C-alpha cells in the first residue's frame, strides 16, 4: 500500500507536465485551460518493472453541469452552501484519457469566462465532480490553497492563498521525504503558466517570466514539486499598457 501511495504522489509531482493557458480578450472575456500530461520517460524510471504491468483504460469527457442531473439525487442532498460552489463550475469541461496500452495519460480541464473573477479553481474540478457523485461534503476536502483571478483596468492578477497551513506543512514534509526516492534521476516535472493578453505587457511581478516578441504574452516555468510545496510562488501580477 505504501508503494502505491508513493507512486501516486510521484506521478503528480515528479513525472508530470502541467500547463495553465489563459487567453484574455479586449472585453475581459476569455478562455483558460489546465493540461496535465504524464511524462512517460520519467514515469518509467520511477515505476521500473511495474511500468510494463499497467493495465488501465479510461477515456471520459463531460461538462461539469451534467453531474447535476446525472447524480441529481445526491446533488439534491448536498447543502445549499456546497451547491453554490459547484454551480460556479457549471460550464467547466473535462476530458480524461488514461491508456496503459497507448501509454497516454492526460487530462484537459477548460472554461470559457465572461470576467476573470468568474474563473474557478480548475485544479479542484475532478474532486468536486467526485463529491457530487458520492455525496461527499466540501468540508471533507483536503485542499490547502485556492486560486483566484482578476482583471481590472490594465491590471491582471493570479492569486494563490493558503487555506490550511497545517496541511501545507504536512505535504511539504512528505514530499521532502519522497524526493530521496528519485534523487539523481532525470525527470520532467514542469509547471508552466502560458498567458496571452489583448495589449502589450508593461510589467510583470515574476522576474523569471519570459515575454514574447510582440509583448502580448508571457510564460513562466516552475518545478512542479516546488509548486506543491509552496503554491504562492505562482502568484502573478501583470500590468498592461
Across all residues in the chain, what is the average pLDDT? 89
- Taking the C-alpha atoms of residue 134 and residue 141, their distance in angstroms, rounded to an integer, is 13
Query: Is residue 11 pLDDT above 60, yes or no?
Result: no
Per-residue confidence (pLDDT) for residue 14, from 0 to 100: 64
Domain extent for 86: 2-240
Q: How confident is the model at residue 137 (pLDDT cuts 50, 70, 90)?
A: confident
Return the C-alpha cell found at 71. 447524480
Q: For the chain, what's the residue count?
A: 241
3-state DSSP assignment of residue 11: helix
Per-residue confidence (pLDDT) for residue 204, from 0 to 100: 98
Cα distance from N-terminal residue to C-terminal residue, the chain: 54
Other CB atoms closer than 10 Å to residue 208's CB: what's the count?
10
Query: Is residue 163 pLDDT above 80, yes or no?
Result: yes
Question: 130-134 contacts: CB < 8 A, separation 24 or more?
Answer: 131/78, 131/82, 131/86, 132/67, 132/68, 132/71, 132/74, 132/75, 132/78, 132/86, 133/67, 133/71, 133/74, 134/74
Per-residue confidence (pLDDT) for residue 4, from 0 to 100: 37
- DSSP letter for 124, please: G
Higher pLDDT, 125 or 179: 125
In the chain, the percentage of residues whose pLDDT exceeds 70 is: 94
Number of structural domains the chain divides into: 1
Closest CA to 32 of 149, 155, 128, 129: 149
CB 192 within 8 A of CB 223: no
3-state DSSP assignment of residue 169: helix
Closest CA to 106 of 19, 196, 193: 19
- Taking the C-alpha atoms of residue 14 and residue 174, their distance in angstroms, rounded to an integer, is 13
Q: How buried is residue 15: exposed, middle or buried, by Cβ count under 10 Å (0-12/13-18/19+)? A: buried
Per-residue confidence (pLDDT) for residue 39, from 0 to 100: 79
Per-residue confidence (pLDDT) for residue 238, from 0 to 100: 98
The owner of cell 463550475 is: 89
Return the C-alpha cell found at 111. 472554461
Q: How confident is the model at residue 12 (pLDDT cuts 50, 70, 90)?
A: low
Query: Is residue 7 pLDDT above 60, yes or no?
Result: no
Amino acid at each position: 500500500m505504501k508503494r502505491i501511495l508513493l507512486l501516486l504522489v510521484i506521478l503528480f509531482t515528479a513525472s508530470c507536465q502541467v500547463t495553465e493557458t489563459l487567453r484574455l480578450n479586449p472585453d475581459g472575456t476569455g478562455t483558460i485551460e489546465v493540461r496535465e500530461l504524464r511524462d512517460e520517460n520519467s514515469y518509467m524510471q520511477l515505476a521500473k518493472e511495474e511500468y510494463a504491468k499497467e493495465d488501465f483504460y479510461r477515456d471520459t469527457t463531460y461538462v461539469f453541469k451534467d453531474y447535476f442531473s446525472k447524480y441529481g439525487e445526491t446533488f439534491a442532498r448536498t447543502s445549499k452552501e456546497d451547491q453554490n460552489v459547484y454551480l460556479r463550475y457549471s460550464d467547466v469541461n473535462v476530458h480524461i484519457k488514461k491508456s496503459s496500452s497507448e501509454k497516454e495519460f492526460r487530462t484537459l480541464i477548460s472554461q470559457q469566462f465572461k470576467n476573470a473573477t468568474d474563473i474557478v479553481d480548475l485544479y479542484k474540478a475532478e474532486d468536486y465532480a467526485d463529491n457530487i457523485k458520492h455525496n461527499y461534503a466540501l468540508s471533507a476536502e483536503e485542499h490547502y490553497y485556492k486560486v483566484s483571478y482578476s482583471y481590472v483596468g490594465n491590471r491582471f492578477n493570479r492569486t494563490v492563498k493558503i487555506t490550511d497551513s497545517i496541511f501545507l506543512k504536512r505535504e511539504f514534509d512528505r514530499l521532502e521525504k519522497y524526493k530521496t526516492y528519485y534523487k539523481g534521476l532525470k525527470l520532467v516535472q514542469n509547471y508552466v503558466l502560458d498567458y496571452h493578453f489583448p495589449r502589450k505587457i508593461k510589467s510583470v511581478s515574476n522576474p523569471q517570466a519570459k515575454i514574447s516578441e510582440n509583448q502580448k504574452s508571457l510564460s513562466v516555468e516552475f518545478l512542479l514539486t516546488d509548486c506543491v510545496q509552496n503554491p504562492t510562488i505562482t502568484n502573478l501580477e501583470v500590468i498592461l499598457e
